[in-house]
Chain A
Amino acid sequence: MNMVEKKLSNDFYIESPLPPKRTRMQEFQRHFGQNRLAILGLFIFILFFCCAVTGLFLTSGSRPIFDPAMVRLQEKLRPPLAKPNLDSLQPQEVPALGVYLMGTDDLGRDVFARMLQGAWVSLTVGFVAVGISVLIGIFMGGIAGYFGQHHIRTDHILFTLALILGTGLVIVNYTFIGIVIILLCLAYIFYSCLARHESTEKETPVLKAVLHSNAVSVDTLIMRIVDIMLCFPSFFLILTVVALLPASIYNIMIVIGLTSWMGTTRFVRAEFLSLREQDFVAAAKALGLSNFRIIFRHIMPNAIAPVLVSATIGIASAILTEAGLSFLGFGVPPPHATWGNILSNGKNFIFDAPWLTFIPGVAILIVVLSFNLFGEGLRDVMNPKLRERH
């Protein structure tokens, strides 16, 4: 850049004094810095992130520093900050800090170690689930918003349904019928490819006319799928799916992701609908840009702000959902600690050992709240209309 500027300074461009330039990052910092709650949210989020990452290293391995699975039955239900009774413990059973920072549970396991282990679960569940849901949401919403007016032909819908039916039959062991249906579909593709070349005949038979008629628009199809998905009470849908699938943290992430993309889809579609009609999109088309470039380079950056905001809030709700599932015993399988199942275990001793429920509960509250505050701060900064008011 310096070289270019030197070269250009010899030329006779009209120069006039301008106010000092701020980069985009500086602008962002300036506006974000004014929102103290958002800064607090970001700070807690970074703290949580660090805890989760260090917690992952400190609690895993064959001889972890904080062992969340170490059972000390003689030390059960000790309150927070209690000193361990060194006489009754083996040397390797003594907690690393020399104190039960957050007490012990009914099996004498160190709650601090279990919270550290659970933090990583919450973090990954939040990010992976929301990542999945945002990706699906942007994709579906973008298609519905940008290509919404295009129609899908009846034969394409029938063909897709038949293909799904065929695959389903193969999976549930009706192999022969399934394969026949799939082969029929392939034959239809082959036939329609052939027919395209000789489509000069003017008279079309009724069947062909029906098959080639426009059934629904892309927009209708996608938004009705969204409506259908929204009709299910999603927590119970997740419960059902988790009950059917083997219990594993990855299944839970995927299931939460697959059942929470509808809001993002609606957001993105709405943004695309209004942005698509903007003059700058027409101008981009008039410059000869392809649809792909227009969608991803011109419309997406304008549409991304509300998606990011809803994503940060979505992370919070994914953490909550995971905690809820673990609380109900459908979450991550028991030896592994999560905030939800610490809470769930603790509820049996809520009067004897209230810290077992309070500590994970307050942790969930703080993390979820910090994500929400951070998300709202982001929204204020990223929306130029709100920004001007500062």
Chain B
Amino acid sequence: MTHDRPLLCVENLKVYFQSNGARAHAVDGISFEVREKETVCIVGESGCGKTVSALSILGLIPTPPGEIVDGQIIFSGQNLINLDEKAMQKIRGNHISMVFQEPLTSLNPVFTIGDQIGEAVRTHQQIDTEALFQYCVQLLNDVGIPSPKQRINDYPHQLSGGQRQRVMIAMALACDPDLIIADEPTTALDVTVQAQILALLRSIQKKRSMSVLYISHDLGVVSAIADRIYVMYAGIMVEQGNTDQIFRSARHPYTQGLLASLPSPSKRGKRLHSIPGTVPNPAYKPKGCPFHPRCRQKILSCQQEYPGMCDYGEGHLARCPVLFKPKGYPG
């Protein structure tokens, strides 16, 4: 791969939420980077901090309960954390845009889709009405909405879920951003539409040479589109690597567990594997490795210390105490 310059670089990001006296460590020191023209996936269970990290990139964390405590978010040379609201508004939608999880509620019910796409454009550019109309029709055509000239005057409730998600993607594309953050864009859609939306995202990414930060809990989806994958657990990155490394030679027990839970033809008729237990409460995380209560390979030191990332070469990193010790150590 030739695209090595990092477009977005998140370093040691910590986002904490204050609730009822307890401090929820929703994102607890994650680092990742998205290079130009690359699709990066963040994978993890519900509640592990994927969405929070995506929102904090755009500065959309609701500030009275939430707070970015530490870290840097460097986007094309600027630290987004230090920017004020005015400067952030210029970045949102224009340089970084976002596709949300629920296409059913992400569109304003009282405006036509043409209005909403047009607004996305007009917020950042000066454009006259006729050119805007043509541009919106063009965008709708690009995202595969049939008869866009007529559909442009439709209200969101007149569209199907898949079409609404296409409209959301059109809005995200409106200002030709450098990076699109897609926060589980296919979760609310059925499987055939899901495949169409993924294909659409990929073709658009190729055509427009953008980067995509794709957030998902669905490893099947991730394997189809990702260049590189970050596995997240309880606000921490536990493993990172390119798609091959993660799917062929996962190191971390959590990643291995996730992969074992995937259905596949070879497991036909057998019971699917599942990781016992649930994600810890982000306000009361276990000491040491956050995964150790659910880990089958845990050893004594798992409860006390948590080492940093261990490098396995070629960008494959994992963070697990066990991997530092010989296997079969009495636990």
Residues of A within 8 A of B (CB): 3-5, 7-8, 13-16, 18, 21, 149-150, 278-280, 282-290, 293, 297-298, 301-302, 384
Contacts A4-B130, A279-B106, A283-B168 supplied; 15 other A-B pairs, CB < 8 Å: A3-B130, A4-B133, A8-B134, A8-B137, A21-B150, A282-B106, A287-B93, A287-B119, A288-B92, A289-B89, A289-B93, A293-B123, A297-B119, A302-B108, A302-B110
A386 to B91 Cα, complex, angstroms = 40
B134 touches A283 (CB 8 A): no
Residue of A with least CB distance to B107: A280
B89: which of A8, A13, A283, A288 is its contact (CB, 8 Å)?
A288
Q: How far, in angstroms, from A4 to B136 measured CA to CA in the complex? A: 12
CB-CB < 8 A to A288: which residues of B? 88-94, 123-124
Given contacts A4-B133, A287-B119, A289-B123, contact A280 B149 (CB under 8 A): no
Complex contact B123–A285 (CB within 8 A): no
The yes or no answer to B120 lying at the interface (CB within 8 A) is yes
**Which residues of the partner chain A approach B134 to less than 8 Å between Cβ atoms?**
4, 7-8
CB distance from B110 to the nearest CB of A (A): 5
**Pairwise interchain contact A284-B108, C-beta atoms closer than 8 A:** yes
Q: In the complex, which residues of chain B have a beta carbon less than 8 angstroms from the beta carbon of A7?
A: 134
Kindly state the separation between the CA atoms of A278 and B133 in the bound complex, as whole angstroms. 27
Which chain B residues lie closer than 8 Å to A280 at the CB level? 105-109
Residues of A within 8 A of B150 (CB): 18, 21
B98 close to chain A: CB less than 8 A: yes
Give complex CA distance A298, B64 in Å. Answer: 23
**Pairs A–B under 8 Å by Cβ, sample size 21:** A5-B149, A7-B134, A8-B134, A15-B146, A15-B147, A21-B153, A149-B64, A278-B105, A279-B105, A279-B106, A284-B108, A286-B60, A287-B97, A287-B119, A288-B89, A288-B90, A288-B91, A288-B93, A297-B119, A301-B110, A302-B109
Whether A18 touches B137, Cβ cut-off 8 Å, given contacts A279-B105, A287-B97, is no
In Å, the complex CA distance between A294 and B97 comes to 17
Q: CB < 8 Å: which of B60, B97, B171 contacts A282?
A: B60
Contacts of B100 in A (CB 8 A): 279, 282-283, 286
Closest residue of chain A to B157 (Cβ to Cβ) is: A384
Q: Please tell me if the beta carbons of B97 and A286 are within 8 angstroms of each other in the complex.
A: yes
A-B contact count (CB 8 A): 91
CA distance A301 to B155 in the complex (A): 14
Q: How far is the CA of A8 from the CA of B157 in the complex (A)?
A: 26
Beyond A4-B130, A286-B97, A288-B92, whether A13 also contacts B147 by CB under 8 A is yes
Whether the Cβ atoms of B149 and A287 lie closer than 8 Å is no
Contacts A8-B137, A298-B108 given; does A14 touch B147 at CB 8 Å: yes
Instruction: Provide the bound-state CA to CA distance between A345 and B251, in Å.
Output: 93
In the assembled complex, which residues on chain B have CB atoms less than 8 Å from the CB atom of A286? 58, 60, 92-93, 97-98, 100
**Nearest residue, chain A, Cβ from B156:** A280
Residue of B nearest to A290 (CB): B89
Binding site for A on B (CB under 8 A): 58, 60, 62, 64, 88-94, 97-98, 100-102, 105-111, 119-120, 123-124, 130, 133-134, 137, 141, 146-150, 153, 157, 168, 171, 174
Min Cβ gap A333→B in Å is 45
Closest A residue by C-beta to B153: A21
- Give the dominant DSSP class at A's interface: helix
List the A side residues contacting B168 at CB < 8 Å: 283
Give the residue name and chain of the B residue nearest to A278 (CB): B105
Question: Could you say which of A5, A149, A286 has the most chain B C-beta atoms within 10 Å of its C-beta?
Answer: A286
Closest B residue to A287 by beta carbon equals B93
CB-CB under 8 A from A13, the residues of chain B are 137, 141, 147-149
Q: List residues of chain B with CB within 8 A of the CB of A5.
A: 149
Which residues of chain A have C-beta atoms less than 8 A from B89's C-beta?
Answer: 288-290
Report Cα–Cα, A7/B131, bound state, in Å: 12
Q: In chain B, what residue has the closest Cβ to A388?
A: B157
- A31 to B33, alpha carbons, bound, how many Å? 53
CA distance A18 to B88 in the complex (A): 41
How many whole Å from B106's CB to the nearest CB in chain A?
4
Q: Residues of A contacting B60 with CB < 8 Å?
A: 282, 285-286
Q: Inside 8 A of A285's CB, which chain B residues have their CB?
A: 58, 60, 92
In the complex, what residues of A have CB within 8 A of residue B123's CB?
287-289, 293
B280 to chain A minimum Cβ distance, whole angstroms, is 26
Instruction: Give every chain B residue within 8 A of A21 (Cβ-Cβ).
Output: 150, 153
Taking the nearest CB of chain A, how far is it from the CB of B242, in angstroms?
28
Which of B90, B100, B108, B123 neighbours the largest number of chain A CB atoms within 10 Å of its CB?
A: B108
CA distance A117 to B138 in the complex (A): 59
Q: Which residues of B contact A3 (CB under 8 A)?
A: 130
Q: Are A283 and B171 in contact (CB under 8 A)?
A: yes
Contacts of B130 in A (CB 8 A): 3-4
Q: How distant is the Cα of A282 from the Cα of B100 in the complex, in angstroms?
A: 9
- Taking the closest CB of chain A, its distance from the CB of B50, in whole angstroms, is 15
Closest A-B pairs by Cβ, 3 of them: A288-B92, A288-B93, A287-B93
A283 x B107 contact (CB < 8 A):
yes
CB distance from A177 to the nearest CB of B (A): 39
Are A14 and B153 in contact, CB atoms less than 8 angstroms apart?
no
Among candidates B101, B105, B146, residue contacting A16 with C-beta atoms closer than 8 Å:
B146
**Distance (whole angstroms) from the CB of A20 to the closest CB of chain B:** 10
B156 to chain A, nearest CB (A): 9
Tell which of A8, A149, A279 has the most Cβ of chain B within 10 Å.
A279
Cβ 8 A contact of A283, one of B88, B98, B141, B174:
B98
A284: B residues at CB distance < 8 A: 108
Q: Which residues of B contact A289 (CB under 8 A)?
A: 89, 93, 119, 123
